Structure 1
Amino acid sequence: MQKSTFLSAWIVSVLFLSINFSQAQSVSKEDGFKRLFNGENLDGWVGNKESYRAENGMIVIDPQGGGGGNLYTEKEYGNFILHFEFQLTPGANNGLGIHAPLEGDAAYVGKELQILDNRAKKYAELEVYQYHGSVYGVIPARRGFLNPVGEWNKQTVIVNHPKIQVILNGETILQGDYLEASKEGTLDHKEHPGLERSSGHIGFLGHGDVVHFRNIRIKELK
């Protein structure tokens, strides 16, 4: 009986330590991260606050027939790790702007990472640099790692100018140097002066479709 009691206590102790270790790891991974979205309103953001709104802990873009425009952080960021989750609707198209000014097309005057429902029939003949996660016009991303439409996706973007990494649902879909990649010209054969920028605003770039975002957190790097 005593042996059984000792064994039970030992198992409980091991489980307790395992749970605490797991929790400690979780806290450690979040050290230094700050919320970009408070879950309640769009304080700290600028731009189109008509098509974009805070709802049930999410940023929702609902352009209702319009282009949707852009929503940017008030603050500018240089090197960073950005975590966020997104939920696509059928055929949805959006973008993540980085190092962007508040005026002009962020895909060129800053950089745009595609946020896109790749599986939609209307996107059957995209250029390689237009698929989800790609640095638009510059570096193509690997495909096949988006969750089905309607499910949430987790994405991490790590920027250490001029290097960038995009991790989608635990898989690295893009890793490269956008200045090196464009040295002999960009894939879309257009000028991208924003590739030289090492800081700017982070934003969601509307293209007329409904998309949901949540759990947006950032850690600035030196």
Structure 2
Amino acid sequence: MRRLKLMLPVLSGIGLWLGVSIGALAGDLSKAEKAEGFVSLFNGKTLDGWIGSTKGYIAENGLLVCRKKGGGNLLTAKQYADFVLRFEFRLPPGGNNGLAIRTPRKGNPAYVGMELQILDNTSKRYAKLKPYQYHGSIYGVVAALRGHLKPVGEWNQQEVIARGTKIRVVLNGTTIVDADLKGIKPLDGRKHAGLSRKSGHLGFMGHGARIDFRHIRLKDLAAK
């Protein structure tokens, strides 16, 4: 027992050095989240429960990593309608990814489903984007409030609440999108058939940059 007690601080130190907690390695949920009905979507070790571009992502040191030269669409095997999704992400300089929600497996989720942008807003390469292309925006449809991302290299916390036609995005404690899609006109003027979808897969959309994700958990609001 004494040896085990001595090892725990060492393991904790290793976890902190890697940028991930021991709890994250195990895919643990807080007691409060378990009581609320949240489940972990990523076990920290494998891509079990995920489909699509499984070669473009890896489980590494408890993190879900979008490969720099990989990416693509990594989707949950299960489909969801109304939900609360919580996750953490870490951006590199110029990082670009997306969160797909209510999307079918085939097609571009930004149009056949919905894409919530994941982006380093501070990068000079993105200085001239349209408002609906910045982080947290429902791509092409609703522009997100800017100015609430942590500095590049730090962990961000994001929550997405999808309930019927209402979508809310909370970034680091601040609501950056609060939209009702009923009758909405996309800002880009394009057809977004996915706005009328009631359910589908969710997941990440890699665009050629390494992005780290962790603590991916979901509460299915449609579950009985």
Letter in 2 for 1:135: I
**TM-score relative to the length of structure 1:** 0.84
CA positional deviation for 1:29: 4.4
Residue-by-residue CA offset, 1:70-107 (whole Å, 9 max, x unaligned): 10000000000000000001101100000001100000
Q: Would the aligned equivalents of 1:77 and 1:199 in 2 still touch at CA under 8 Å?
A: yes
Structure-2 separation of matches of 1:125 and 1:181: 24
Structure-2 separation of matches of 1:173 and 1:100: 22
Structure-1 separation of matches of 2:73 and 2:31: 32
Q: Which runs of 5+ in 2 are unaligned?
A: 1-29
CA positional deviation for 1:27: 2.7
Structure-2 separation of matches of 1:211 and 1:27: 28
**Could you say which residue in structure 2 is the equivalent of 1:54?**
59
**Could you say which residue in structure 2 is the equivalent of 1:37?**
42
**Could you say which residue in structure 1 is the equivalent of 2:215?**
215
**4+ residue segments displaced more than 4 Å:** none
Q: How does 1:103-142 map to 2 (within 5 A)?
A: 103-142=106-145
CA positional deviation for 1:50: 1.5
Determine which of 79, 82, 90 is the counterpart of 1:79.
82
Determine if the alignment matches structure 1 residue 177 to structure 2 residue 180.
yes
Q: How does 1:179-194 map to 2 (within 5 A)?
A: 179-182=182-185, 186-194=186-194
Letter in 1 for 2:116: L
Structure-2 separation of matches of 1:40 and 1:180: 42
**Could you say which residue in structure 1 is the equivalent of 2:197?**
197
Structure-2 separation of matches of 1:48 and 1:28: 32
CA positional deviation for 1:178: 1.9
Structure-2 separation of matches of 1:189 and 1:129: 11
Structure-2 separation of matches of 1:106 and 1:209: 18
CA positional deviation for 1:181: 2.3
**TM-score relative to the length of structure 2:** 0.83
Letter in 1 for 2:46: N
Letter in 1 for 2:217: R
Structure-1 separation of matches of 2:187 and 2:145: 16
Structure-1 separation of matches of 2:53 and 2:142: 28
Letter in 1 for 2:162: V
Structure-1 separation of matches of 2:132 and 2:47: 31
Say what the alpha-carbon RMSD is for the aligned residues.
1.1
**Could you say which residue in structure 2 is the equivalent of 1:6?**
none
Q: Give aligned pairs, total.
A: 192
Q: Which runs of 5+ in 1 are unaligned?
A: 1-25
